[in-house]
Structure 1
């Protein structure tokens, strides 16, 4: 046991030492040392570096050393020059990111198209422009930049779908830095296009602007595929990737659409695991505890009856209007009502199933309450009847409301 503890301490000590060396190298860059100077030092002292260590390094620079986000953004390209070729490949036995439709697979498909656009098409047209700045050559470059402006969708999905999950796990530095670089690329593309649309004969200025776009865009592809995506794959859960894949179409895609719909193989969930697990909904993910507490805190009573008239669920708030016991779960709704009112229930369900009605309301005086009872036919996206939702509320306090209340008092 002591040998295991000693080995762990040694590994941790080596990791801390490596982190300190990396920090010193970046600080030297910050103070003005050349890339070649620190690159040799880096290769000699550190060797291979993991994606996680790069992430920790950038965050440490901002949090511990006080280097502003803007400075780390400026150093980002220098980081790339050093880290290329020295990032160890992350090997996994199962790679969902290689499956069509997985967000990372889609991001990489887009990157291939972006790379082809900037390093082949745009580069070729730029060389033609440098030889002869004709109207035709200018137009081709503007056309290329119009296509490249679609990169905003790629970056927006990354920033608004992927980054929030990383930040949830405390990964803040890399997301702040990369978002800033993304904005710089957006501005550079726009600026280069403006120089071309109002071309005044300054060929060098146009060339410099376009070479900057090509370099920064290419570097971002490298940073995403060798730093961001591996780090995200190590961090996010399968449910979170599913949510990102689902929401991607709301923003759109850049130069390439998903190659398919990603359907991961889900392990069979046991009852005890489900009790401690999460529920993935279309607009969010909740733990079972959160979901149940949320439903029980609503100021209404909810009961759900399935397509076979069987009671499947009722909320259990502090002040239920009509008493329910767990014994009703699994019983048909007809057996939960007195015989004299069963025909009303059956007529209502018949109308819901036949599509004659979608909602029915009742309101009655019950003890000291004025009770509003609403029934809703629950249908799927194709209009198929899936059950009935009963919604019961004491509206006496609502009816007593007068005037206005505009601010918290």
Structure 2
């Protein structure tokens, strides 16, 4: 066993150095001629692990992203021989693979329509735009990977390849938008640039299908437990799917060996001081830090109209002192506004409204005040939160700012 482990470790180190040589500019042909035999012994899971090792050794994910196609090309002959992982319809990986097949068909349609339009621009771009918009719905596939599959892989210390793939997916999104923008104004269209954008979309998306099928999916199946896949499936519907509805054939049957662990249970450990919340677990200190650093004032009034909490932010808009805790909220407002407060609370109780909002100008501020009804899972009224914010600076924003100021 130790000899096998040593051989595997040596092989990974050798191949890691091979990928470094490719990054430094050595030709793919010469590297394959010298080290190609090593790829016959390696699994797709190990390929992902090698990229992970490169990142851990200090290689920037952007650098691996830049050479990702070269890395795959080095291993491609061996990867082509490996079977795709088998899963049951309804399993998250089965759904992801099915979406890839649908997207490949839609990419073929996009190519066909683009080629027809290039031959005869008089046809107009509408058919191309429709095909592109269909392909852009593949965003749901990428979001499920980024928001569900990648976080679960990271729990097992497997983050490098996820970071690289996310970067490539952002490139694909940029190609989509740029292609769409060019098609929106044919008078200013740059035909060579648009041809290149179209080819980039075709190439990058198809390459991602391959990388998922041959590297990501086998790696995920090896690492994730059945309970993890159940959690992923349980959350997928919120994001949505690409032109399909998952089958219900795959179901996890909970056993003593495979307990279904909730997100909160997985975060909570005895004695940690964590309080389980609906989507996470925090300490009291963390909750206080969050509430006191929000850019809004928050006041909570319970179902009995008693003030139970207010946030102590650095720049409070309305004065609040601890003496109001336990006080009827009606007594916390001047007489001329009590009727308005009472009406809001009565409407909330009667389920006539869920939100009430006002805005006023005062002391050089533009103050936005909102009241939200809180209801439990059964729809029962449980209180109100008041949220106040000075939005003067927000109202003056123009254009965009995508970069962080120094």
What is the TM-score normalised by the length of structure 2?
A: 0.62
Please list the CA deviations of residues 342-369 of structure 1 after superposition, one character each: whole Å capped at 9, or x if unmatched: xxxxxxxxxxxxxxxxxxxxxxxxxxxx
- Taking a change above 3 Å as real, the CA distance of residues 146 and 82 of structure 1, as seen in their structure-2 partners, is same
Alignment partner of 2:17 out of 18, 24, 44: 24
Change (3 A) 1:169 1:90: farther
The CA deviation string for residues 129-160 of structure 1, in whole angstroms up to 9 with x for no partner, is 33222343x22221111111111111111111
What are the ranges of 5 or more consecutive residues in structure 1 without an aligned counterpart? 1-7, 300-378, 382-409
Contact 1:188 1:209 in 2 (8 A): yes
Q: Does 1:223 align with 2:223?
A: no
Task: Give the length in aligned residue pairs.
Answer: 282
Matching of residue 280 in structure 1 with residue 268 in structure 2: no
1:291–1:279: structure 2 CA closer, same or farther, 3 Å change rule?
A: farther
- Measure, in 2, the Cα distance between the counterparts of 1:292 and 1:45: 47
Closer/same/farther in 2, CA of residues 24 and 241 from structure 1, 3 Å limit: same
Distance in 2 (CA, whole Å) between partners of 1:252 and 1:295 is 30
| C-alpha distance in structure 2 between counterparts of 1:293 and 1:28, whole Å | 49
| Cα distance in structure 2, aligned partners of 1:262 and 1:45 | 37
How far residue 175 of structure 1 moved from its aligned partner, in angstroms, is 1.0
In the other structure, the counterpart of 2:48 is 55
Mapped partners of 2:192, 2:47: distance in 1? 36
- 2-structure distance, mates of 1:69, 1:295: 35
> 1:295 and 1:214, CA in 2 relative to 1: closer, same or farther beyond 3 A?
closer
Partner of 2:68: 76
**2-structure distance, mates of 1:155, 1:172:** 16
CA distance in 2, matches of 1:284, 1:147: 37
- 1:255 matched to 2:243: yes
Equivalent-residue separation in structure 1 for 2:122 and 2:249 (angstroms): 45
Pair 1:67-2:59 in alignment:
yes
Which whole-Å CA distance do the structure 2 matches of 1:173 and 1:46 have between them? 21
| Residue number in structure 1 paired with 2:92 | 103
Task: Give CA deviations for 1:321-344 in whole Å, capped at 9, x if unaligned.
Answer: xxxxxxxxxxxxxxxxxxxxxxxx
Which residue of the partner structure matches residue 180 of structure 1? 167
Whether 2:187 is the aligned partner of 1:195: answer no
Contact 2:268 2:274 in 1 (8 A): no
Q: CA RMSD in A?
A: 3.2
Superposition pairs of residues 246-395 of structure 1, within 5 angstroms: 246-260=234-248, 262-267=250-255, 269=256, 278-281=259-262, 284-286=264-266
CA contact (8 A) 1:162 1:244 kept: yes
What runs of 5+ residues in structure 2 fail to find an aligned partner? Answer: 277-282, 285-375, 379-406
Is the alpha carbon distance of 1:288 and 1:61 closer, same or farther for their aligned partners in structure 2, counting shifts above 3 Å?
closer
- TM-score when normalising by structure 1: 0.62
